[in-house]
Amino acid sequence: MDHFLYRDGALYAEDVSISEIAAAVGTPFYVYSTATLLRHFRLFDDALEGLDHLVCYAMKAASNQAIIKTLGDAGAGMDVVSQGEYLRARAAGIPGNRIVFSGIGKTAEEIRTALTGGIRQFNVESEPEMAVLNAVAIELGVIAPITIRVNPDVDARTHAKIATGKSENKFGIPISRARAVYAHGATLKGLKIIGIDVHIGSQLTDLAPFEQAYTKVAELTEILRGDGHEITRLDLGGGLGIPYAHSNQAPPLPTDYGAVIKRTVGHLGCEIEIEPGRLIAGNAGLLITKVIYVKSGEDREFMILDAAMNDLIRPAMYDAHHDIIPVIEPAPATLPQTYDIVGPVCESGDTFARDRAMPPVVADDLIAFRSAGAYGAVMASEYNSRPLIPEVLVNEDQFAVIRRRPTYQEMINRDTMPAWL
């Protein structure tokens, strides 16, 4: 459920009309709903009720500081994967002891920043990383709390580019080698092993892979405890999918996911962390764009928008489906028209949807992409020298620009000329 609904024939974000925001900030732009962000965070928080737990929002999904602060104020922790994300979370007021640091390529500099600034734990992904973390911790005279990410070799049954839990993926250490790596980790003076981490992929629409992975984590917990390790915390990653197409069957709910967690690892007495990103932010954001032209091809109509693949890369990159709706609700009996919906960037990959049935549109009509809150703005680029588009946050009847559109001059002025030119 989200808070983007038609009212009297016009699309609203909570109590603010999308057309009004468009008039104020211009198109294209991203708009997020505070109520939806909070609702989704609380669904996870409630789903883990009864367990000692922390929901660490995977801020890679949407990392504007206003979004981070909204969730942080509600009690969320953060899952970060770079120094930039770490510093962004800190800038948004998240205390270090609510930040977990994931990722397979943490550099010594990134580790130093987090160890100095405060961190809840590092999710270590390899032995070489463990060695660097140990060395930096000793150099700083601190002890780094760690979990080790295991790769459970489970098929997440999702898009190949976002599956992470098969043995051929680059993530974690093979679960078969876990005992040896934990034994080695326990000898390192700069580290304190506190738990196990797992994350098997993103946009999972079936709970069975979670169940398999978490069952393996539970077995491993018992084995490692038997080896003398204190396993007090389990980080179970993110990955629960969202409904992208209204026509499709909805994926399982956070409460069903919570039941899997309780069933598989609930008896271990561990503190549980999860790292959802997409389910919190995905359906809390829209991309709003305007029709520039409608153009007739040989056998099809092209709807040319002012948003492009540089603003929302998911369709080009993962063949992702996003529902696309008009901001002004069509009259009930309107007959649909079929369009290829494209952006202005100079490559055919800049296609959002083919043969999509839509109410007929004309130039200047406003169009909304649904489910664009996660992996939308954060994956944008300035390809074709198109400036990054603004982000807007709505809260009931208020809205605020939370990242403004840069001017062309600001974008161009970032280049510097070498002395010889």
In whole angstroms, what is the distance from residue 46 CA to residue 17 CA? 31
In whole angstroms, what is the distance from residue 278 CA to residue 259 CA? 19
Query: Which of 53, 120, 199, 290 forms a contact with ligand LLP (CB under 6 A)?
Result: 199
State the pairing for strand pair 77-80/99-101: parallel
Task: Using alpha carbons, select from 325, 318, 326 the residue that is nearest to residue 376.
Answer: 318
* The two three-digit tokens of residue 136, written as one number: 């930096």
Site membership for ligand LLP, residue 318 (CB under 6 A): yes
Give yes or no for a contact between 81 and 61, defined as CB atoms under 8 angstroms apart.
Answer: no
Looking at the Cβ atoms of 34 and 158, the one nearer to ligand LLP is 158
Residue corresponding to tokens 């994931």: 102
Encode 259-302 in three state secondary structure: HHHHHHHHHHCCEEEECCCHHHHHHHEEEEEEEEEEEECCCCEE
The reply to whether omega before 95 is within 30° of 0 (cis) is no
Q: Residue 329 carries which side chain, given as an amino acid letter? A: E
Site membership for ligand LLP, residue 203 (CB under 6 A): yes
Other Cβ atoms less than 10 A from the Cβ of 347: the count is 12
Shortest Å, Cβ 43 to ligand LLP = 13
Site string for ligand LLP, 2-41 (x = CB under 6 A): ----------------------------------------
Q: Which of residues 107-126 bind ligand LLP (CB under 6 A)?
A: none
Site membership for ligand LLP, residue 162 (CB under 6 A): yes
Looking at the Cβ atoms of 16 and 324, the one nearer to ligand LLP is 324
- For residue 4, give the DSSP letter: E
Site string for ligand LLP, 359-398 (x = CB under 6 A): ---------------xx-----------------------
Q: Which of residues 276-305 bind ligand LLP (CB under 6 A)?
A: 276-279
Site membership for ligand LLP, residue 202 (CB under 6 A): yes
Known catalytic membership, residue 270: no
Looking at the Cβ atoms of 304 and 353, the one nearer to ligand LLP is 353
Query: Which of 3, 90, 98, 314 forms a contact with ligand LLP (CB under 6 A)?
Result: 314
Shortest Å, Cβ 137 to ligand LLP = 22
Site membership for ligand LLP, residue 102 (CB under 6 A): yes
Shortest Å, Cβ 100 to ligand LLP = 9
Query: Which of 28, 172, 238, 373 forms a contact with ligand LLP (CB under 6 A)?
Result: 238
Contacting residues for 395 by C-beta, under 8 A, at least 6 apart: 14, 34, 35
Please tell me which residue in 346, 362, 417, 419 is annotated as part of the active site: 346
Give yes or no for a contact between 258 and 44, defined as CB atoms under 8 angstroms apart.
Answer: yes
In whole angstroms, what is the distance from residue 312 CA to residue 53 CA? 33
Strands (E), 156-197: 173-174, 191-197
Shortest Å, Cβ 320 to ligand LLP = 7
Query: Which of 185, 239, 251, 373 forms a contact with ligand LLP (CB under 6 A)?
Result: 239
Looking at the Cβ atoms of 239 and 266, the one nearer to ligand LLP is 239
Size of the site for ligand LLP (CB under 6 A): 20
Site membership for ligand LLP, residue 343 (CB under 6 A): no
> What's the angle, vertex CA 352, arms to CA 349 and CA 358, rounded to 5?
145
* The two three-digit tokens of residue 213, written as one number: 């992975």
Site membership for ligand LLP, residue 273 (CB under 6 A): no
Site membership for ligand LLP, residue 104 (CB under 6 A): no
Q: Phi and psi of 22, rounded to 5°?
A: -60, -40
Query: Helix H segments across 292-356?
Result: 314-318
Query: Which of 275, 306, 311, 391 forms a contact with ligand LLP (CB under 6 A)?
Result: 275
Chain-centroid distance of CA 169 in Å reads 19
Other Cβ atoms less than 10 A from the Cβ of 414: the count is 8
Site membership for ligand LLP, residue 251 (CB under 6 A): no
Looking at the Cβ atoms of 70 and 102, the one nearer to ligand LLP is 102
Shortest Å, Cβ 235 to ligand LLP = 9
Query: Which of 11, 22, 61, 353 forms a contact with ligand LLP (CB under 6 A)?
Result: 61
Torsion, Cα 301 304 307 308, to 10 degrees, reads 70
Residue ranges in contact with ligand LLP by CB under 6 A: 58, 61, 79, 102, 162, 199, 202-203, 237-239, 275-279, 314, 318, 374-375
Instruction: Just list the catalytic residues.
Output: 346
